[in-house]
Structure 1
Amino acid sequence: MFKKSFRLLTSIGMAVLLSAGLIGAKPQTVMAASKPPNAIYKVDTDKKVVALTFDISWGNKVPEPVLDILQKEGVKKATFFLSGPWTLRHPKIAKRIQNMGFEIGNHGNLHKDFSNYPNSWIREQVALSEKAIQQVTGVKTKLIRTPNGDFNPRVLKTLHDMGYTVIQWNTDSLDWKNPGEQAIVKRVVSRAVPGDIILMHASDSSKQITVALPQIIHQLRAKGYQFVTVSELLSNAKVSTKVES
């Protein structure tokens, strides 16, 4: 009697499992919907770390003084986004950036908004800049900051398909507007948060950054901040993105 009852219960259990598709069925892989690529503005972290980033597209009067300041202040971690033409025109400065151990990213070739051009043009421009930077510094870039910070979902996908991560910023110094050294310092120091990506320029258009930069470094350090590269931020914390339309 016990054996019959056991066999009956087993048969019922097998039927339930079969009907539920838990046994006797081919394995199925549940594919998670892939998220569209985003630009990165900051990372979410409790650590007091920030990434100082500098865009360079033209000029040779400001870049070296910026490097001198970083060297004098003992800042060994920063990220520079270089344009292709600038890199070819000023190879000694580009090599110095690389030799000082700073991270190098791509800032495109022609300084034009990517969203105004087709994907083929974007790929060509990025490839030209990538080639120039690698030729001069030996660095194969993986991070990109688009000219003027301009992009849309199509641009993001094109760059992502090329193997690039698009880096924006959470704190904009607005140094290129030359609003006054103290205005630049106050804007950066008052807005910086843990995990921040801070936008500055080492192009000749940023005429006041060399006066503001030492104060920014001192005041951020006084608040307990340490400086890291963008890649170091990304490798140690959750990224904060914004969906651009």
Structure 2
Amino acid sequence: MRGSIRSVELPPGQKLIALTFDLCESDGDHAGYDGRVVDLLRAEGVKATFFAGGKWLESHPERAQQLIADANFEIGAHGLRHRDLTHATDKTMAEEIGLTEAAFVRARKTLMSRACVTDLQDDASVPQARITLMRFPYGRCNAKALAAVAANGQLAIQWDVVTGDPDPHITAKGIANTILTRAHPGAIIVAHANGRGRNIAAALKIALPKLKEEGYQFVTLSELLAAGKPVIAATCYLNRPGDASRVARAKRQRKSNDIWSVLRSR
């Protein structure tokens, strides 16, 4: 399946939604882990998908294994070092995709070697064997990157509801309002759980109960894809076709890696 999946068309009456959280970490950076988000999801019994960078998996081995072990969570890839793959060489592309999966396999192998999981009998409780989903860093891709991901047997996943949680100027109420007003059956919501998602835990505490009241069920991305027909775009974009390239140009002009401040200034 080629292209970037933005949402899923569901049969009438199904109100499924996918919460996704990026776990980014680049060279020279040590990102965190937002335990408040994960604890809230577990307390509410909410399923979610985490797109983890290979470097993040390596620098957070215990947290990575805990996420992999949780039956309510799914792990996708988010590049090795959070590089813009639209400018990647063949070697860099192969590393960003292949070494991220290798980091996941190592984390899973360590987890499975522990006594607490060696007696697993229920197939549903066995952690996923490999990564089948990929989200491009910065939400940017091109035909070459899409082809490389597809050749590796992964589906390219984007989103259609942007929380904007890295923006320090957006309050918890503002994020919750964005989620509640833009949520729809088959939606893919993007947020962060690497400590860079400001106010996201507080926002989810507001939004999750209200979405449940509206009849929504939270599923992993693979479950959402299995329930309907993926909505596929030919390329990647943030909110509208072409905006990823415009933001990239603005970032270079402003010499800023903060896409949210760039978006806010437009």
Per the alignment, residue 92 of structure 2 pairs with: 121
Q: Could you say what secondary structure the match of 1:234 adopts?
A: helix
Per the alignment, residue 231 of structure 1 pairs with: 222
Q: CA deviation at 1:181?
A: 0.6
* Aligned mates of 2:91, 2:151 — CA distance in 1: 12
Q: Could you say what secondary structure the match of 1:40 adopts?
A: strand
Per the alignment, residue 79 of structure 2 pairs with: 108
* Aligned mates of 1:52, 1:232 — CA distance in 2: 12
Equivalent residue letter for 1:155: A
Q: Could you say what secondary structure the match of 1:176 adopts?
A: coil
Q: CA deviation at 1:233?
A: 1.1
Per the alignment, residue 64 of structure 2 pairs with: 94
Residue correspondence of structure 1 range 164-203 to structure 2 within 5 A: 164-178=154-168, 179-203=170-194
* Aligned mates of 1:119, 1:236 — CA distance in 2: 35
Equivalent residue letter for 1:82: A
Per the alignment, residue 11 of structure 1 pairs with: none
Q: CA deviation at 1:61?
A: 4.6
Per the alignment, residue 39 of structure 1 pairs with: 4
Q: Residues 1-32 of structure 1: CA distance to partner in whole angstroms, max 9, x if unpaired?
A: xxxxxxxxxxxxxxxxxxxxxxxxxxxxxxxx
Aligned equivalent of 2:41, options 53, 58, 70: 70
* Aligned mates of 2:205, 2:69 — CA distance in 1: 21
* Aligned mates of 1:214, 1:40 — CA distance in 2: 27
Equivalent residue letter for 2:151: D
Per the alignment, residue 19 of structure 2 pairs with: 52
* Aligned mates of 1:127, 1:216 — CA distance in 2: 36
Equivalent residues of 1:114, 1:155 under 8 A apart: yes
Equivalent residue letter for 2:105: Q
Q: Could you say what secondary structure the match of 1:104 adopts?
A: strand
| Pair 61,228 (structure 1): closer, same or farther in 2 beyond 3 Å | closer
Could you list the runs of 5+ residues in structure 1 that have no partner in the other structure?
1-35
* Aligned mates of 1:217, 1:129 — CA distance in 2: 31
* Aligned mates of 1:214, 1:98 — CA distance in 2: 23
Q: Could you say what secondary structure the match of 2:209 adopts?
A: helix
* Aligned mates of 1:171, 1:96 — CA distance in 2: 27
Per the alignment, residue 211 of structure 1 pairs with: 202
Aligned equivalent of 1:83, options 50, 53, 57: 53
Q: Residues 104-145 of structure 1: CA distance to partner in whole angstroms, max 9, x if unpaired?
A: 011111111100112332112111111011101244111000
Q: Please report the TM-score for the alignment, with normalisation by the length of structure 1.
A: 0.81
Per the alignment, residue 33 of structure 1 pairs with: none
Q: Structure 1 residue runs of 4+, over 6 Å off?
A: none
Q: CA deviation at 1:89?
A: 0.8
Q: Could you say what secondary structure the match of 2:105 adopts?
A: helix
Per the alignment, residue 243 of structure 1 pairs with: 234
Q: CA deviation at 1:218?
A: 1.1
Q: Could you say what secondary structure the match of 1:200 adopts?
A: strand
Equivalent residue letter for 2:45: G
Q: Residues 79-104 of structure 1: CA distance to partner in whole angstroms, max 9, x if unpaired?
A: 11101111111111111111222110
Count of aligned positions: 208
Could you list the runs of 5+ residues in structure 2 that have no partner in the other structure?
26-30, 110-128, 236-241, 243-266
Q: CA deviation at 1:168?
A: 0.3
Q: Could you say what secondary structure the match of 2:58 adopts?
A: helix
Q: Could you say what secondary structure the match of 1:177 adopts?
A: coil
